[in-house]
Structure 1
Amino acid sequence: MSQEIFPVVQWFPGHMAKATRMITEHKKKVDVVIELLDARIPRSSANPVIRELVGDKPHVVILNKCDLANPKATKEWIEFFKNDGIHAIAIDSKNGKGNKQLVKTVESLAQPIIDRWLKKGIKGRTVRTMILGIPNVGKSTLINKLAGSAATRTANKPGHTRGQQWVKVGKNLELLDTPGVLWPKFEDQRAAARLAMTGAISDDVYDLDSVIKQLLAYLEEHEPTLLHERYKLTEEERTSVDTMLEAIGRRRGCLVSGGVVDYDKVRRVILTDYRNNKLGYITFDGVDEEPYYVDEE
């Protein structure tokens, strides 16, 4: 089955444009930049605007939510960034896995700066870092875990953190939380679909039918065993995404009067299954995968 890609969304709320300006303003105040990516979609969640804003600042990439991703793929991505000269660490911000390694890496990257301070007679200044990433990637959760308290507000909703907060971590590190920033235009609509699947984009603004069809097509092509085990689909039912949708709807009882499948309901069942990790540990972005562009009239 070929995976057909359709335009999914164009979304750039005004507060994100404001966030971009804020990041530019505060970049000069920080010593090290932490870029937080979703380990399931390392390429799709890497905002090119952020890379431009980072410039030549010491930079570490964090692959968050590694507990939801394919472990083998996560190792491949860490090696990919290493080969590109970028420090990369896999973490699970909810349980704190990888946080100690993160702090050590930040301190190591900041050491040349600290040495320059000492030569100038400056002692006791804390290392300042800024955490950047797309919405709902786990920035506030990470800061809370590092600080050991609910230092920042968190919500499982894109666009929640809109202000700016400095948080002290230990004796020598300060973190600046920033609002999630998406880029002005999704040229790669496959990436847009994956951002929607993982919850980086508000569920109110994208075409759910297109996203779910792309999810099913991906599973059929790359993870057919996971798809079959969850929904018990026959070979005949797997001939197209439409036949899969209908079969899953009937098995899950997503029906209206007359035995007609309620497609909106079954789409949401599948999305919930994926987000609750009932479809397995999936990494959508491969290190060798090429972007997929859709021309928009």
Structure 2
Amino acid sequence: MITKAFREYKDQDVVFTNANEDLNIKGIIKYLAKRAVATGTASEKELTTTVMVVGMPNVGKSSLINSLRRIGVKKGKAAPTGAIPGITRTVAGTIKVLDSPKVYLIDTPGVMVPHISDPITAIKVALTGAISDHLFDEEVIADYLLFMLNQQQDHSYMTLYNIKEPTDNIHEFLPQVAKYIGALKRGGELNLSAAAQFLIKQYRIGKLGRFTLDDICPESLEIFMTQKAEEGVSRRQQKKADKLEERKRKRVVFQHSQGDSKL
């Protein structure tokens, strides 16, 4: 559904992959080779193309590059990886992932919008790990995660953490998780922060199921893509209007300056 939506509204090729399982990695390499040949004029052995890998923090850009390198040229890890955002801080040069045609990738630091106005969107981004955990209240993130699990009718957490019945109450849920993992502070007090951190990590590594935090039904995708397209047109129109206004202002200033010089 997502692939179809991107092709229809954005005219983009979309491939879902998993660097941990090398899912569709060969397909990406074939696509890069095809694009290199299509845009080059030299023989295949002499062709060289460089691709920049861009995305939000902690989405697996470096892991993807390492998988492409391992499968494409049978060589080991070249890009540093980690479970927290911000591991890649600078552009460190090119990494070869294919010999013929020659394909090089550039690993880049994560790109994030300067401000997320919608609080729910911000929580979703934090839950995926694109924002450093210390910038958000982890219990709030865990509360949203519990809400989403219940929305998905996924109550596997009952079996995982020995909980008797489903609950929407994070204040009841986290103490039970803390007991299950033995998260205690000095004096035997339950460490709810540690329980929230544990729960978030469990989601990120797939222990709580694999599902998106957004509504991806065809109708919702169509509405989203249409809105984005309209927003793009509106921004272009606004920029054009701003430029015209700026030119008009400069013209008025110039005319005034000419009048003053004649005096």
Q: Deviations over 1:87-145 (max 9, x none)?
A: 1111121342211111222333444422xx36xx9992312211101112111222222
Q: Which residues in structure 2 correspond to 1:88-237 (within 5 Å)?
A: 88-114=14-40, 117=41, 124-147=46-69, 148-164=75-91, 165-169=93-97, 170-172=99-101, 173-235=103-165
The answer (yes or no) to whether the contact 1:209–1:267 under 8 Å persists in 2 is yes
- The alignment-based identity, stated in percent, is 28
Cα distance, 1:220 vs. partner?
A: 1.5
> Take 2:188 and 2:90, find their aligned partners in 1: how far apart are those partners?
49
Runs of 4+ that moved beyond 6 A: none
Q: Which residue of 1 aligns with 2:8?
A: 83
Q: Deviations over 1:166-215 (max 9, x none)?
A: 11222321211111111101123323222222222222222112111111
> Take 1:203 and 1:94, find their aligned partners in 2: how far apart are those partners?
23
1:262 to 1:123, Cα distance in 2 relative to 1, 3 A = closer
Cα distance, 1:239 vs. partner?
A: 4.6
Q: Which residue of 2 aligns with 1:9?
A: none
Cα distance, 1:150 vs. partner?
A: 2.1
TM-score, scaled to structure 2: 0.69
1:151 to 1:231, Cα distance in 2 relative to 1, 3 A = closer
> Take 1:190 and 1:82, find their aligned partners in 2: how far apart are those partners?
27
Bigger helix share: 2
Cα distance, 1:77 vs. partner?
A: 2.2
1:153 to 1:269, Cα distance in 2 relative to 1, 3 A = closer
TM-score, scaled to structure 1: 0.62
> Take 2:210 and 2:142, find their aligned partners in 1: how far apart are those partners?
17
Q: How many pairs were matched up?
A: 211
> Take 1:238 and 1:223, find their aligned partners in 2: how far apart are those partners?
11
Supply the RMSD in Å over aligned alpha carbons: 2.9
Amino acid at match of 1:149: G
> Take 2:185 and 2:82, find their aligned partners in 1: how far apart are those partners?
34
The answer (yes or no) to whether the contact 2:47–2:100 under 8 Å persists in 1 is no
Cα distance, 1:258 vs. partner?
A: 7.5
Q: Which residue of 2 aligns with 1:29?
A: none
1:278 is aligned, of 207, 213, 233, to 207
1:192 to 1:256, Cα distance in 2 relative to 1, 3 A = same
The answer (yes or no) to whether the contact 1:220–1:227 under 8 Å persists in 2 is no
- Structure 1 residues without counterparts, runs of 5 or longer: 1-75, 292-297
Amino acid at match of 1:274: Y
> Take 1:254 and 1:279, find their aligned partners in 2: how far apart are those partners?
19
SS in 1 for 2:134: coil
Instruction: Between 276-285 and 246-255, report the one with greater CA deviation.
Output: 246-255
1:152 to 1:265, Cα distance in 2 relative to 1, 3 A = closer
> Take 1:268 and 1:184, find their aligned partners in 2: how far apart are those partners?
25
Which fold has the larger relative contact order, with Cα–Cα distance below 8 Å and residues 6 or more apart in sequence?
1
Cα distance, 1:153 vs. partner?
A: 2.4
Q: Deviations over 1:238-297 (max 9, x none)?
A: 152322223333444445577653321221231232234321223222322789xxxxxx
Amino acid at match of 1:283: T
